Structure formats: C-alpha cells, structure tokens
Amino acid sequence: SKTAEADQNKPLRVATNATFVPFEFKDNDQSSEYKGFEMDLIRAIAKEMGRTIEYNNIPFSGIIPIIQQGDMDIAAAGMTMTKDRASKVLFSAPFYESKLVILTPKNSGIQSINDLKGKTIAVQLGTTGADYAEAKGIANKQFDSNAEAIMELQVGGSPAAIIDKPVADYFVSQDGKGKFDVIPIPDTKSEYLAFAMNKKDTELQKQVNAAMAKLKENGEYQKIYEKWFHS
C-alpha cells in the first residue's frame, strides 16, 4: 500500500467539477478561485493536514476513473455515496445530506414526476440524477456540466432537470428566484454527499475524517456551513 508519510509533503490533488453551485463553482472569469461550501471545506481539511491543494476541474463522469487510477487523491465533487460507487472508491464521512428533486421553470405545467412522461429532461452525465431518469425510462439529455443542464432550462430546451435538492434550492434562492420551482420526488430517499478516495488510501481517509471531525468540534464546519447556506 502507499505510504502516507511520502504523500505528506505533496499537494493534495483534488478532482472536482466546478459547476455545482453552491458546493463547487468558479465565476465566469476563468481566473476565478474555486468557490463553494465543499471547496472551503476541503481547503480547511487540507490546512488541518498541513497540505496544499492542487485542483483539477474535470467532467463529473471522469472523476471516479481518475481516482481509481490514482492520478488524483480525492474527489470533492458533491458526490453522492452510492453502493455502486462504494465498490470503486473509498468514501469519507458524509458532509451533507441531499435528495433528488425536479427543477422546473414556473408555468412549465410540471407538477410531479408523472408529468415528465413524454418530455425530454436535462441531467448531468454520470450523476445520480441521470441514473434516476434512466431507471425510470424518462427521456433525457446528458450534459458534461451541471451549469449546462440548468442553462438548458433557462433557454427553454428542456422543461425540467433532475438534480440534487441543495443545488436546486440554492438556484431558486438566487438566479432562479421567482422563475423556477423545486418539486419533490416521492420515491427518492435521502442521500449523503462525501469525498471519494482511492480504495488503497485508507490512511488518507483516516486523516480526512479526523480533520473533518476536528472542524465540526471547533466550529469551523459550522462557520463554512453558515457562509453558504444561511443568509
């Protein structure tokens, strides 16, 4: 197995898909720093561990493979802990609760999951939202970024998207205010978002969980939470 000591002085290589507001995103300006709840959290965790960060912004669907190959150390990508993924990567302790919802423009006529029959919805490639649409036989267009999936609704290309509740709620409280609705999906359960690491990196998993526990104890996690979710 890899030696944790040897990695200690190297930057922590973080794979993300910075299109998932408010967890990870960049402003339109390409020189923008990585922003969001999860970006602040991973920065605080790395600081606890005494390591710097090297970011890699890639399509969400490429994240699990790159972690499996060992080319990146940790995924900070709003990733839902699923059984299937747990067979491929190691998850940290969860940092956020989520659930799938329908995001739809007001007056789209969509009020429940049944109204999506015969429509083509927008989802992000490789996500649990895309899996759900596929499993239910809902026609869907799959985008590389979450921002593009939401854009598709804004330009009228699709009448709905299936995405994570905190992301939909945040959108409706900001850019989508007064223009979009969030509709629950009755047959979905609560899920948890966590960081993902290589199967062999049990030492890194321990360090990340210890750092996160410390940030919860000392109030730092709460501060970051309030910055993004309470204003």
Interface residues with ligand ARG (CB under 6 A) are 17, 19-20, 24, 60, 77-80, 124, 127-128, 146, 164, 193
Q: How far is the CB of 227 from ligand ARG (least distance, A)?
A: 19
Distance CA 10, CA 30 (A): 25
3-state secondary structure of 152: helix
Output the residue with the shortest Cβ distance to ligand ARG. 127
Q: How far is the CB of 219 from ligand ARG (least distance, A)?
A: 26
Q: Which is nearer to ligand ARG, 7 or 104 (CB)?
A: 104
Q: Which is nearer to ligand ARG, 4 or 86 (CB)?
A: 86
Cross-strand bridge partners of residue 200:
none
Q: How far is the CB of 75 from ligand ARG (least distance, A)?
A: 9
Q: Which is nearer to ligand ARG, 7 or 16 (CB)?
A: 16
Q: How does DSSP assign 92-115, residue by residue?
A: -S--EEE-EEEEEETTS---SGGG
Q: How far is the CB of 47 from ligand ARG (least distance, A)?
A: 22
Q: How far is the CB of 225 from ligand ARG (least distance, A)?
A: 18
Distance CA 88, CA 83 (A): 9
Residue 195 has φ and ψ, to the nearest 5°, of -80, 150
116 DSSP 8-state letter: G
Distance CA 78, CA 89 (A): 14
Q: How far is the CB of 20 from ligand ARG (least distance, A)?
A: 4
Q: 146-152, long-range: CB within 8 Å, 24+ apart, which pairs?
A: 146/17, 146/19, 146/20, 146/21, 146/60, 147/19, 147/21, 147/25, 148/19, 148/124, 149/122, 149/123, 149/124, 150/103, 150/122, 150/176, 152/122
Q: Which is nearer to ligand ARG, 7 or 224 (CB)?
A: 224
Q: Which is nearer to ligand ARG, 82 or 202 (CB)?
A: 82
Q: Which is nearer to ligand ARG, 59 or 105 (CB)?
A: 59
